[in-house]
Structure 1
Amino acid sequence: MLDTLPFPTRDLDELSREERSFTFAHFTCEHAWVIGNILRNALRTVEAPALIHISLSNSMVLFHSPSLPGLMPDNEIWVARKRETVLRWGHSSWYMHNKFGGDEGKFREKYGLGMEEGGKYAIHGGAYPIFVKGVEGVVGVIVVSGLKQEQDHQIVVKAISEYRDLRDGVKSPQRNTTLIK
């Protein structure tokens, strides 16, 4: 399956549109649980160890799980760095990667970040913003770490698409509104 994932676009306008196309009507732990399990099941099916993390912008963790054994403590650090990138700049870490052509030096220079402060961020694919209709800014972040960066990004996109297709038009049992548009 990982080999069949299409290579994500590098076009910034297209990436920005893609990110906004996944705007949720609301986002709760139920959403995170389903999306996290879609990711975990997909990764387990292809025997790909990766760390899956979904949290709100206030740092509340809604889902955090390895897909399989075989991860290193570094995956936790990558998750944190990718997450911080999305929260600060409001775009996926793949968007930020492409904005700077993967050049971390240019990235740090553009934002006046020294080596230490720049190390808090990662411009490598795999972290994706969660937007909610009527709420300004990023509400949360979905992160995958452990694959090639373009696969980390694309598997998140695929999982959100699957979730949207799965829940299209379904009403939440707790609310009288559509879960995602």
Structure 2
Amino acid sequence: MADSTLYPLTNPPTDLSAISQIDSSILFPSFTVSDAWDLGCLLRSRLLTFPGSTVISITLANSTPLFYTAVRSGITPDNTAWVNRKSATVLRFGCSTWYMHNKFQGDEKAFAEKYCLLDKAKEFAIHGGGFPVRVKGVEGVVAVIVVSGLKQQQDHQVIVQTCRDFLDGVGEGDEKRKED
């Protein structure tokens, strides 16, 4: 079993303004198929340090898949359902699912009532692990990153920390990444 201390995660904030600031501060200079591949591979490497099976999904806002993989054996159709529900929440509300979880303190009934979701409530998830991809100069969410399989705060935080690390490596564009 891998040792998750190789890639320790900090606890994400639960304060809505702090979460919102993080959501909006992770801004990509561009987001290409190659970026999605590189980011997905980096996420996979980090998730291998955690026990258990997880799924990574990166899709464009129009649902075009860019990256999808299982990390370790043992995933089930439930993982795919969580991916779809987390993606739907990010796309509809334009924020991370961790934000929505904390906004409603995990109360799915209050969430469903607030937005008059009725029987469509099952199409959304307010559990951490869905994150918006924003690109500088582009309005709205261009893609969604989802991790499913860890505790929800870990699903969220592995995305945040990996995106930050990825963007730190992008600093000088494609040439810098090719040199690494």
Assess same fold via TM > 0.5.
yes
User: Within 5 A, what are the aligned runs for 1:38-49?
Assistant: 38-49=42-53
User: Within 5 A, what are the aligned runs for 1:22-171?
Assistant: 22-114=26-118, 116-169=119-172, 171=173
Three-state SS of the structure 2 residue aligned to 1:27 is coil
User: Within 5 A, what are the aligned runs for 1:6-21?
Assistant: 6-21=10-25
Q: In structure 2, how many angstroms separate the alpha carbons of the residues matched to 1:133 and 1:159?
A: 18
Q: In structure 1, how many angstroms separate the alpha carbons of the residues matched to 2:100 and 2:52?
A: 25
Show structure 2 runs of 5+ residues with no match: 176-180
TM-score w.r.t. the length of structure 1 is 0.90
Report what 2:178 is aligned to: none
Report what 1:179 is aligned to: none
Q: In structure 1, how many angstroms separate the alpha carbons of the residues matched to 2:168 and 2:138?
A: 23
Show structure 1 runs of 5+ residues with no match: 174-181
TM-score w.r.t. the length of structure 2 is 0.91
Deviating beyond 3 angstroms after TM superposition, the runs of 4 or more aligned structure 1 residues are none
What residue identity is the alignment partner of 1:85? T
Three-state SS of the structure 2 residue aligned to 1:131 is strand
Q: In structure 1, how many angstroms separate the alpha carbons of the residues matched to 2:75 and 2:116?
A: 33
Three-state SS of the structure 1 residue aligned to 2:165 is helix
Three-state SS of the structure 2 residue aligned to 1:4 is coil
Q: Residues 44-73 of structure 1: CA distance to partner in whole angstroms, max 9, x if unpaired?
A: 133431000000001110000001111111
Q: In structure 1, how many angstroms separate the alpha carbons of the residues matched to 2:90 and 2:147?
A: 13
Q: Residues 84-132 of structure 1: CA distance to partner in whole angstroms, max 9, x if unpaired?
A: 0000000000000000000001101100111x20000000000000011
Q: Residues 140-167 of structure 1: CA distance to partner in whole angstroms, max 9, x if unpaired?
A: 1000000110000001011101101222
What residue identity is the alignment partner of 2:127? H
Q: In the alignment, is the contact (CA less than 8 A) between 2:28 and 2:167 conserved in 1?
A: no
